[in-house]
Amino acid sequence: MDSIAVGMFWISSILIIPFWSLMWFMPQHELTRRFVGDIRWSVLPLLIPYVILALPNAPNILITFASQMPTPEIVVDLFQDDEVIVLGWLHFLAFDLFIGRYVWLRMLSTKRPIYVSTPILILCTLMAPLGFLLGLLATWQHNQVERDSVMNHGK
């Protein structure tokens, strides 16, 4: 595997640990609100390595998906390239962190205790769609407040 891809893999994997740790163990701390609460800080550890790997691979990926309907075979063939595998990993990390951040914000707004938020956020780290589902269920009444806020915004 290319040393740049390996470096981007490890840099990203290590740099997001503080964000998850803050959300898990210090969800209401000012430091968490400052770094995790600011989307720019949250995505930076993943965005820079992603751009470094995506730019040289973008033409191949775009041509592959623009020229034909994606099939499982095409995706598997695309993932034969080590850099594309690392791009996929970075995509997973970004998605997990984005979903986890959204769930963390909902947990804060509904004042869920740490013993509720931490297991759900850990699940977001490992399996974001399931963590997202549990996060929505744990903050269900927030849905009505959010919907009312959006519906009454223009009035």
Model pLDDT for residues 75-130, shown as the tens digit of each residue:
899 899 888 899 999 999 999 999 999 999 999 999 999 999 999 999 999 999 99
Dump strand ranges (E) for the chain.
none
The encoded tokens of residue 57 equal 């691979």
pTM of the model: 0.84
